[in-house]
Structure 1
Amino acid sequence: MDTFAIPRSVEWRETHITILNQQKLPLATEYIDLHTLEDVYDAIASLKVRGAPAIGITAAYGLALAASHYKAETVHEFHSRLKQDRDYLASARPTAVNLVWALDRLTAAAKDAASVNEAKTALIHEAIRIQIEDEDVCRRIGEHALSLFRPGDRVMTICNAGSIATARYGTALAPFYLAKEKGIELSVYALETRPVLQGARLTAWELMQAGVDVTLITDNMAAQTIKAKGIRAIIVGADRIAQNGDTANKIGTFGLALLAKSFGIPFYVAAPLSTIDLATKTGADIPIEERHPDEVTHLAGVRVAPEGVNVYNPAFDVTPNELITAIITEKGIVRGSYSAALPALFAKEEQHETI
């Protein structure tokens, strides 16, 4: 049986994009087609597609799709329209850096095109390349992360940094898929991840599909679970990592890092280089998206809080670098002074590309 027989979250169909509607999981496996730039914007903003790498892939395809319909007569006119659409998609979710990274990579790929048709082709090819590269990147992250665990370990995670949040394998969940592939027993304790329940709806679902041993807990059970179940480590994904290692991830991550320090267990962040934003110096510079109060006051469309109550609903928090044991990337495991080590990863990447 194919351990990884899990639906892909994003697929390019030439005339449209097909995505797995993550809002419907786990009760229904529904695919929807995106035909317009507005469809793509809505899918990202409304969390039909989510996970920083998957958002970037979808946005890249969305920009390429929109550009394929431009009636521009000159390359200058084409790029003017492309910038407008790039800026529009970039505003869909402000915290995940992969969104802007993917859009900027596409615009750069078309920059030197000699004709409108050449520019359109360059955009499509670059979007496809981003997805292919992400699958390889995620597997390499998984291999590095797996080296940190021992057979039989119990590991905690929050939100969904898995296969459906990326091209394949995921980031924080990648080592569990690879462990399953290699016959190594690992157990996962997944926080439900209020208020949108990505852990309960998505992480639990996809790990069960792959036959990974997963136990679901509510967010406020984390400390007791670490103590009672002998959790050996916590591993999470990331939506943006600042130059100094401060990491923005799903709300609740900071609290887990504090618990890890209290219990003396390692706290790992797994993310590709594309999530590291060297232009953002510290976590204080990361914009934190605040979402609609209904996500907190309602469950499955049913109100569970009083009418008119004040609501604070940040989608992310920032974990200070000093609480992070290591950052796991496709280029290896980084520890210590992140301000020096993270830029060094990009220097190695640039050196490799010139060879």
Structure 2
Amino acid sequence: MSKPSDQPSLRWEDHTIVTLDQRALPHERLLLRLDTVDDVITAVTTLAVRGAPSIGLAGALGVALSAYAHCSPGSTGGQQAVRADAQRLAAARPTAVNLAWAVDRALGRLADGPDAVLAEATAMIEEDREVNRQMVAHAVQAVRDRCPQRPLRLLTHCNTGRLATAAVGTALGTILALADAGEVTEVLVDETRPLLQGARLTAWELAEAGVPHRVCVDSAAAAAMRQGLVDCVLVGADRITARGDVANKIGTYGLAIAAAHHDIPFIVVAPESSWDRSLADGRDIVIEERAADEVTSFGAVRTTPRGTRAYNPAFDVTPASLITAIVSEHGVHHASEVRT
């Protein structure tokens, strides 16, 4: 099995953020160089940079870009401009709590100057790598405890690997660790409509790692469970409430319902930074709704009659009652314990 690259999904280089353009994958590996806050916001909103941990790190580095642009050494005059940029960065995608969390953390060092802001942002990249390692170790054990049979047939949704984090990933990182231990027969990858993050990105990461996998349309997942093709479902999260309700890529809620019906473990793998304990439950989560043309067209080709409207939420909320366990770097949280 080949070893995927250990390079983080984004890095700071010569006062520029360098990252892979995820819109171009799997056909091209295009590097993006983000020089301004507007560049970062565009990259996040167009999903050139995506995945809750990654957009948080991009936001933090965006605060550093702003600090260098507006705050000369010994001056405090530009701090208001940096704070305004930070607000715009945090609002770029409202559902993933990691973005606002990381932006606020970087902004907290603004009084110490641009170098301090950058040091905080780059420290967060290194922290994310260690968080990934700890979280995956806990999640691997959580899967083994609930799925004693080996090897495993796993199902995942969207992309939660190294493209979405600074290291191996959350749910996909867990799948890769299990595969590396010889415990995976096959991974079913939901294509993840409408932008195909599963088909384009997760399948690409699994192919790079040499893990057997098949892509299925989102609506085939329940049938796969009924046919006995799935032993466990592993997904990530963009925001987790105090009671354990989880916002994740649209389609996750339906997967959880199907998994519960078929008595299949449904495990969420996400860092502590994805928790928002200021929200009591999932009804309080703001769900981003994206442009209609993501649904009414495929690529540049219109697939619906002109004038057709679309319902295009980027995320849905899975209630804690449907979740077997939530795993973070701190360990395994059983959904019933979280609710209590």
Q: How does 1:31-50 map to 2 (within 5 A)?
A: 31-50=31-50
2:160 counterpart residue number: 161
Tell me the C-alpha RMSD between the 2 structures.
1.6
> Is the 2:151–2:182 contact (alpha carbons within 8 Å) kept by the matching residues of 1?
no
Kindly provide the CA deviation profile for residues 223-248 of structure 1, in whole angstroms up to 9, marking residues without a partner as x. 11112243111110000001111100
Q: Could you tell me which residue of structure 2 aligns to residue 253 of structure 1?
A: 252
For the Cα contact (< 8 Å) 1:6–1:210, is it kept in 2?
Answer: no
Q: TM-score, normalised by structure 1?
A: 0.90
Alpha-carbon distance between aligned partners in 2 of 1:286 and 1:81, rounded to the nearest angstrom: 28
* Distance in 1 of aligned mates of 2:14 and 2:337: 44
Q: Which runs of 5+ in 1 are unaligned?
A: 114-118, 341-355
Three-state SS of the structure 2 residue aligned to 1:5 is coil
Question: Could you tell me which amino acid in structure 2 is paired with residue 194 of structure 1?
Answer: R
Who is 2:120 aligned against? 126
Question: Residue 191 of structure 2 contacts residue 197 of structure 2 at CA under 8 Å; is this kept in 1?
Answer: yes
Equivalent-residue separation in structure 2 for 1:123 and 1:52 (angstroms) = 20
Kindly indicate whether the alpha-carbon contact (under 8 Å) linking 1:109 and 1:126 is maintained by their aligned counterparts in 2.
yes
1:119-152: CA deviations, max 9, x gaps? 2111010111111111111121111111123531
2-structure distance, mates of 1:34, 1:205: 24
Is the Cα–Cα contact under 8 Å of residues 298 and 305 in structure 1 kept in the other structure?
Answer: yes
Question: Which position in structure 2 is the counterpart of 1:352?
Answer: none
Alignment of 1:202-351 (within 5 A): 202-335=201-334, 336-340=336-340
Q: Among all aligned residue pairs of Structure 1 and Structure 2, give the percentage whose two residues are the same amino acid.
A: 43
| Cα distance in structure 1, aligned partners of 2:2 and 2:151 | 22
CA distance, structure 2, for counterparts of residue 296 and residue 65 of structure 1: 34
Task: Give the conservation status (yes or no) of the 8 Å contact 2:188–2:216.
Answer: yes
1:153-201 Cα deviation digits (max 9, x unpaired)? 1111110011110001110111122224334335211100000100000
Counterpart for residue 138 of structure 1: 132
- 2:53 corresponds to which residue? 53
Find the aligned partners of 1:15 and 1:333 in 2 and give their Cα distance. 39
Farther-moved stretch of structure 1 (213-222 vs 247-256): 213-222
- Equivalent residue, structure 2, for 1:95: 95
Q: Which moved more, 1:181-190 or 1:322-331?
A: 181-190
Give the whole-Å Cα distance in 1 for the aligned partners of 2:234 and 2:175: 11
Code of the residue aligned with 1:36 in structure 2: it is T
Looking at structure 2, the residues matched to 80 and 134 of structure 1 have their Cα atoms a distance apart, in angstroms, of: 29
Inter-partner Cα distance in structure 1 for 2:284 and 2:158: 23
TM-score, length basis structure 2: 0.94
Aligned partners of 1:239 and 1:249 also within 8 Å: yes
Task: Write the letter of the residue equivalent to 2:191.
Answer: E
Q: Which residue of 2 aligns with 1:116?
A: none
| 1:175 is the counterpart of 2:174 | yes
Q: From the superposition, tell whether residues 326 and 298 of structure 1 become closer, same or farther in structure 2 (CA, over 3 Å).
A: same
The answer as to whether partners of 1:9 and 1:167 remain within 8 angstroms in 2 is yes
Q: Which amino acid counterpart does residue 291 of structure 1 have in structure 2?
A: R
> 2:73, 2:179 → 1: CA distance?
53
**Aligned residue in 2 for 1:350:** none
Unaligned runs of 5+ in 2: none
SS in 1 for 2:180: helix
Moved more, 258-267 or 229-238: 229-238
Q: Is the 8 A contact 1:55 1:99 kept in 2?
A: yes
Aligned residues of 1:7 and 1:20 also touching (Cα < 8 A): no
2:25: which partner in 1? 25
